Chains A and B, each alone.
Chain A
């Protein structure tokens, strides 16, 4: 059973997590375990602080990103969302292919505005999926949640590629 990052911050293991609540919990803990607090302590305490602060940062990073948070929540329920057969609805796959084509067209034409439009569109879709994911997780439907997580991984990758394409145009 993996360690619960929610418990680490003394938070309820739920998908809905207001950012301010997480930030406050992280800051409270970081203020106590950060190596800067132990600059004149014994080497052993410094090592221990380093490992606690490292865990705090990892926990924060995981809970901050909705996709990672969902994966962590599923792993606490014994489900590895990144493993196993991926079955996507055909309409989802068609949409992906469509978006990928738009991306490569915009890329070869050096069309920043088109990249921007595509990015906005995909981000809206990602926001919709988050709502779906939350409903599945709250209903303890781990199978449906896993399928949604897998779709979100596709979308995340696409968004990263769109950002990279924009970065290349800027540079």
Chain B
């Protein structure tokens, strides 16, 4: 049945074989990996049975790298080489960071994203995140006992394009095939929705270590439709820690504590905050580097008072999200709390008060996101999904726009548009014979370009020489299901494709990724060349399997005999190439097969999907 194979393309490929896929919650404070096993999602623990991996990476002079609990314990001893909360630096420049002086890192301003100076050399936040992901990948491979088809990596819903790109780059560096970037609150909703099979409109309040998201979504007959998201990608549990830290410094009358002491006191601040989630008072004790003791008691009431402004700050995005969804508090059928920071009683109280109902907390707030990601990964990999057939419809969190005259923003794609989404905009030349034009893409809600995030500057070249105003260049902005932007351009009157040079203001170029891969492998056991060969083989096999499965489904309806022969020929050539240890040859053969199969893809999908569309050709609409 062709229709079934279209709806669930992965499933006919290798019957009865479970394809291993994982979900990873790459968190500010902790990271978690989960997978679907025997039909239900579970968090994968380490050898000691610990589920959470602290998102802390320690670099040593000899190239050794520690990730997790051990690194977390060493923070105060080696503050400059032990990096935590790096998620807050992803896709960020030095000027974006509100409190760089407070961080005990050696931060370097770099082109685009900030960099960190360590004893092992300069590292980008992407590389540090990749170390965390590698540990989780290895844990999953060992625990599941096989090669992974891919992973779903979660990101805060309010992450912009640069932060998403950085996250995807980190996963690539860690050797993971990214099936999808999934918004954290949406992942949590999947975990809750499929677990409880509820229907209605839900608010997901997700306060993590470094980011805050609010997501309003409707769950109905297996469709998770995100109606609106809002948030603050620089507000999280960390800020509560810093508030307590400031209080400690003020109470103990400390003047400019050393980086080690700062880190130690910050740890104590966090401990006290966590303790106050179940106790009414917490002791704070620390012996500073010069032997000076700090001994204080913090009452829950004092913590609540100190952090009341932060709690209130989360309610502003909540109001905005409800307004964007055109709903009121009365329309909400359930509120879900996600993220470790929502354990704080003051948060629970504020949320309950605002929504006039007790929030749902029955799934561990540290695990819900990874569990949801695992369920999604399992479905994307083509396994029978838990809870039957379901679909996620997510949105773009921040508007995309262009710089126009006078440094103002013209909105092209409004926030909360359902993904994938594309919009085209026409431009013209203002000088006779003008051959190039530059375009500046920004993301954000503010009117002035300077207040938005600069995503990319494009140079349109190869515009045919025409009189001013005669050239019509249509620029199309496409945002895919990961929330990532790509741009293409075409001159309308002559049909010439204008060249688009994408220069991401943030994020990494492919060359940078390649260099990083090289660098990371000088220390790793696996040789870079072998690694790349391995990746090419995996990629080639993936391609062969998917074409094979396509050929098995009523191929006579979309493929002539001659076409079939040439396709099978190209497949044979690729199979042969994979037997050799030449990555380039495999890549070329795969590329050839890809190009050859491209025209058939559209035909095949049409022939299957159009059965439900009364024989209409679907491609007419694309």
Contacts and interface: CB of A to CB of B under 8 A. Distances in A.
Interface of A: 3, 7-8, 10, 27-45, 47-55, 57-61, 163, 166-167, 170-171
B620 A3 contact: yes
17 contacts: A8-B621, A29-B612, A33-B605, A36-B391, A37-B9, A39-B180, A39-B380, A40-B381, A41-B10, A41-B546, A43-B543, A48-B622, A52-B609, A52-B618, A55-B621, A57-B419, A58-B421
Interface of B: 6-10, 13, 19, 149-150, 179-180, 221, 223, 316, 319-320, 323, 376, 379-382, 389, 391-393, 417-422, 478, 480-481, 542-543, 545-547, 550, 594, 597-602, 604-605, 609, 612-614, 616, 618-622
A31 B608 CA distance: 13
Contact of B7 (A27, A32, A35): A32
Nearest to A4: B621
A37 B6 contact: yes
Contacts of B7: 31-32, 37
Given A163-B323, A167-B323, A45 B421 contact: no
A31 B599 CA distance: 23
Given A30-B391, A48-B605, A10 B179 contact: no
Given A3-B621, A37-B6, A27 B223 contact: yes
Contacts of A31: 7, 223, 389, 391
Contacts of B382: 39-40
Contacts of B179: 39-40
Nearest to A55: B621
Contacts of B316: 170-171
Nearest to A56: B621
Nearest to B547: A42
Contacts of A170: 316, 319-320, 323
Contacts of A58: 421-422
Contacts of B612: 28-29, 32
Contact of B421 (A8, A29, A48, A57): A57
Nearest to A27: B223
A36 B186 CA distance: 14
Contact of B9 (A29, A40, A52): A40
A7 B615 CA distance: 11
A10 B614 contact: yes
A39 B478 CA distance: 18
B377 to A, nearest CB: 9
A34 B390 CA distance: 11
Contact of A53 (B19, B420, B601): B420
A60 to B, nearest CB: 7
Contacts of B376: 36
A35 B620 contact: no
A42 B605 contact: no
Contact of A42 (B180, B223, B320, B594): B594
Contacts of B13: 40
Given A28-B612, A29-B613, A40-B542, 17 more contacts: A3-B621, A30-B223, A31-B7, A36-B180, A37-B6, A40-B19, A40-B382, A40-B545, A41-B10, A42-B594, A45-B550, A47-B601, A58-B421, A59-B621, A61-B417, A170-B320, A171-B320
B223 A32 contact: no
Given A32-B612, A37-B6, A48 B602 contact: yes
A27 B418 CA distance: 13
A1 to B, nearest CB: 11
A57 B381 contact: no
B481 A51 contact: no
Contacts of B393: 30, 34
A48 B599 CA distance: 10
A19 B381 CA distance: 33
Contacts of A7: 616
Contacts of A171: 316, 320
Nearest to A52: B622
Contact of B481 (A10, A36, A42): A36
A53 B417 CA distance: 13
B468 to A, nearest CB: 23
Nearest to A51: B622
Contacts of A44: 594, 597-602
A8 B618 CA distance: 8
Contacts of A40: 9-10, 13, 19, 149-150, 179, 380-382, 542, 545-546
A50 B419 CA distance: 9
A36 B379 contact: yes
Nearest to B599: A44
B374 to A, nearest CB: 14
B557 to A, nearest CB: 16
A54 B478 contact: yes
A3 B619 CA distance: 11
In the A-B complex, list the 5 residue pairs whose CB atoms are closest, starting with the nearest: A44-B601, A39-B380, A44-B598, A45-B601, A51-B622
B620 A49 contact: no
Contacts of B604: 45
A46 B136 CA distance: 28
B419 to A, nearest CB: 8
Contacts of B618: 33, 52
B317 to A, nearest CB: 10
Contacts of A34: 391, 393, 481
Contacts of A35: 420, 480-481
A61 B600 CA distance: 29
Contact of A54 (B389, B421, B598, B613): B421
A42 B550 contact: yes
A36 B319 CA distance: 30
A112 to B, nearest CB: 13
Contacts of A30: 223, 391, 393
A48 B602 CA distance: 6
B324 to A, nearest CB: 10
A40 B379 CA distance: 10
Contacts of A54: 420-422, 478, 622
Contacts of A47: 598, 601
Contacts of A37: 6-9
A50 B621 contact: no
